[in-house]
Structure 1
Amino acid sequence: MTVSVYTNIPAITYTKAAEAVQHSIEIGAERGLKLCATVVDPALGLVAYGRADGMTPHSVETSRRKANTAASTRKPSAAVNPELATAMENGTGGVLTRIPGGVPIVFDGVLVGGLGVAGGPPAQDAKVAAAVLEALGADTLGD
């Protein structure tokens, strides 16, 4: 019997991640928002990041945490159980968050990463993130 010593984990390509970032900034601008976006792979490794000129500097970290949460939990960041939110954020050293605006990136049912959009009101960040999934041709949150 052969014992496997490694696994293959699907991950978003840089090209598709950069496209997600670009869509985030453009869709945000169309809605009057100055946004930033982070895309991570399923192991929470940074793949792409970008920001609109003049966006709020603290949103950089927020977008990363939203992306990490979506990739790690395979759910939108806002879907984190509110009763677990503080413990989760403290237990991970702030790596995860329940602030809306993070979505898992899934193609044909396969998780390839997480997208975090930040810089606007959280509800708007979440709407932009959902629109980005659609623009990418990724599975949408209802799929």
Structure 2
Amino acid sequence: MTMYRTVPVITYAAAARAVALAVEIGERDGVATVAAVADPSMALVAFGRSDGATPHSAETSRRKAQTAASTRKRTAQIPEALATALPLGSGNQLTTIDGGFPIAADGHHIGGLGVAGGTPAQDAEIAAEVLERLADTTGIDR
């Protein structure tokens, strides 16, 4: 019987780069962005926010990151039937608001990125661009 297992997780360096890119892209697009990256166990790895970002966006970005990290799905892909049950059943740790994306590298799920500060559509566009740019420069999967 195996007594342990190895779980790939995103590094701080990769997570911090994702957060920095989200803030940079948001500033370019006129969105006061907040970004968070969580590992598959929902632990926060990196967090950052633009000057002027709304206070509640910090919490929303974390929830989006944790949802994508723990479910391995984009937050917008969580079934509508779970829109109320998921937050309630998780003590408000999870959300179905768009802007949370899973992160994979070399075919392994390693975490989740959550972006908040704009509309859900803007948040999703920023997160998608972050992952595209990381894929161009690192081992992050497209």
Q: Normalised by the size of structure 2, how large is the TM-score?
A: 0.95
Unaligned regions of 5+ residues in structure 2, if any? none
1:63 paired residue number: 61
Deviations 1:38-72 (A, max 9, x none): 00101111100000011000000000000011011
The residue type equivalent to 1:113 in the other structure is: G
Deviation of the 1:34 alpha carbon: 0.6
Between the two proteins, the alignment pairs up a number of residues equal to 138
Q: 1:13 corresponds to which residue?
A: 11
Query: Within 5 A, what are the aligned runs for 1:58-137?
Result: 58-137=56-135
Deviation by residue 1:81-128 (Cα, 9 ceiling, x = unmatched): 001111111000111100000000111221110000000111000010
State the shift of 1:139 in Å: 2.1
- The runs of at least 4 consecutive aligned structure 1 residues that moved more than 2 Å come to none
Q: Matched residues in 1 for 2:117 and 2:33: separation?
A: 5
- Counterpart AA for 1:135: R
Note the aligned Cα RMSD (angstroms): 0.7
Q: Report the secondary structure of 1:58's partner residue.
A: helix
Give the percent of matched residue pairs that are identical in Structure 1 and Structure 2: 57
Amino acid of the residue matched to residue 76 of structure 2? A
Q: Which runs of 5+ in 1 are unaligned?
A: none
Q: Tell me the SS of whatever aligns to 2:61.
A: helix
In 1: Cα distance, 2:82 partner to 2:114 partner: 20
Amino acid at match of 2:141: D
